[in-house]
Structure 1
Amino acid sequence: MPGYPYGWMWAGGFFALAVIVVLSSPVVVSGFARRIGNNDDVELDVRALFGLIRYRYKLPSMSLDGMAVKVDEQVSTSKAGMNTWKEFNDEIDADKVVSSIEKYKHILYVTRDLKGWIKNTLARVNLTEWRWSTTLGTGDAMWTAMATGAVWSIKTAIIGLLSQMVQVKNAPFMEVHPSFSGTVFKTEWSCTAQIRFGYAVLAGLQLLVRMKKWKGGVKAWQNNLFRA
């Protein structure tokens, strides 16, 4: 069978090409947030393997109840076209904030060089879109002008910090509009970032190795993050 070896060569070449395409495919993370008055709208969308794997998080409403913040959450996971939506109601108070901080501090302690891992992973991220528009007014012309300058400073500081952590591929779009007609606050933000699937897999493996370097590292991640 003279064609037999060539068949295996073609199959091996096709498999290698498929692996290269998969590892080179982007993991796309898109974020959106909008606040108009007391109304909030937050969304996070993660797509991988050309949309075969997808994760969506939506925060349709958030309200203040005394000293706690009540949030309604929606989470969608999709694998190969199978989609599942889940809804959650949660309440965030001072005790939960303190508890979360302590959990993250513990994870930072039991994971070897977690800060270095975060820095190296973010260096592989390409920020392809960044748009942030804000309209504000305090009811007083002088304070409105001062607030506008402060918001501009905050925005430029944030994008300056990001440019040191990730690769900014396109110029960010930012604007601040003062409103001298009354008290108003509206802001809308969106961004898109990408990382190659191969880099994401490698980062996950590196994190797993770092978790196992310290006794109880894997268990700490399971108890504090994965279970949540």
Structure 2
Amino acid sequence: MIVTVIIIGILILLFFIIWFTTVTIVLDYSHQQDDDHFRIKIKAWKFIQHTFEVPVVKVDKDEPNLIYKLKNENGEHETNKITPYEVSNRISDYNELLHHVFDLSTVIRKFLKTIKIKQFEWHSVIGVKDAALTGILTGTAWALKGGIVGLLSKYMKLLVYPEISIYPSFQIPLSQTKIKCMFKIRIGNAILAGIKILKYWRGGKGSFNTKPLSMVSEDENNHSIS
């Protein structure tokens, strides 16, 4: 009896520790001409930390695909690509999810509002051969950055003043940008959002095309075959 109580107490303690654990995610992206790097760092407490490196991100010259490289388990770089077909499938899956989860957009908005942005930096240098066109591109970039910052402040908790800059290069053609964003997510809020999605599920497995959602459709097909 005492052992059972101790085990239950430990499980409850672990649950509360996980629930109130805050995960810090740092996104670091840099672009300089044809050289792109993307790094994701995930931290929890002071001793849990993992970094994902995406050393190359570029657009395919022959097809409208986004090419990137990731390290596999052997430490070797594998080339992957994101095609317009995959993007279309993900959009379709999101619409399917909207159909199956009652008021999903509200659940997502409430979860996003719990995310705290602690750092946001976005610095760019833009330049083409035509000085007038450089000025137009610079103005467009300012409008784009302002719109994105506005969306972040609307849907998330932006706790810092964003550091944004755009420098026009009238002398030489140049394309450089560096983005660094740090935000914090409480695991309990993510769990709560997942519980709400399950709670408001309208029934049926749905027809999904991309992972991990496609596993739901595969599971349904396996049961129907058996």
Q: TM-score range by the shorter chain?
A: 0.7 to 0.9
Tell me how large the CA RMSD over aligned residues is: 3.4
Who is 1:215 aligned against?
A: 204
Pairing 1:3-152 to 2, within 5 Å after superposition = 19-48=15-44, 50=46, 52=48, 54=50, 56=52, 58-69=54-65, 71-74=67-70, 88-152=78-142
Q: Name the SS for the 1:214 alignment partner.
A: coil
Identity %: 21
Instruction: Using the TM superposition, give the Cα deviation of residue 86 of structure 1 relative to its aligned residue in structure 2, in angstroms.
Output: 8.0
Distance, in Å, in 2 between the alignment partners of 1:11 and 1:186 is 55
Residues 31 and 190 of structure 1 are in contact (CA less than 8 Å); yes or no, is this contact kept in structure 2? yes
CA contact (8 A) 1:74 1:87 kept: yes
1:225 aligns with 2:211: yes
State how far apart, in whole Å, the 2-side matches of 1:154 and 1:170 are. 19
How far does the alpha carbon of each residue in 1:112-150 deviate from its partner, in whole angstroms, 9 at most, with x for none? 222111101001010000000000112233222222222
Distance 1:199 1:44 in 2: 21
Gapped regions of structure 2 (runs ≥ 5): 216-226
- The match for 1:165 is 155
1:9 offset after TM fit, Å?
A: 10
Higher strand share: 1
Gaps of 5+ in 1: 77-82
- One-letter amino acid of the counterpart of residue 96, structure 1: E
Aligned-partner Cα distance in 1 for 2:50–2:133:
44
Question: Do the aligned partners of 1:68 and 1:91 also contact (CA within 8 Å) in 2?
Answer: no
* Distance in structure 2 (CA, Å) of the matches to 1:87 and 1:204: 33
Report the TM-score, using the length of structure 1 for normalisation.
0.76
Q: How many residues align?
A: 213
| Regions of 4+ moved over 6 Å | 8-17, 83-86
- In the TM superposition, residue 74 of structure 1 has moved relative to its aligned partner by 1.9
SS at structure 1 position matched to 2:170? coil
Structure 1 residues 225 and 13: CA distance shift in structure 2, 3 A: closer
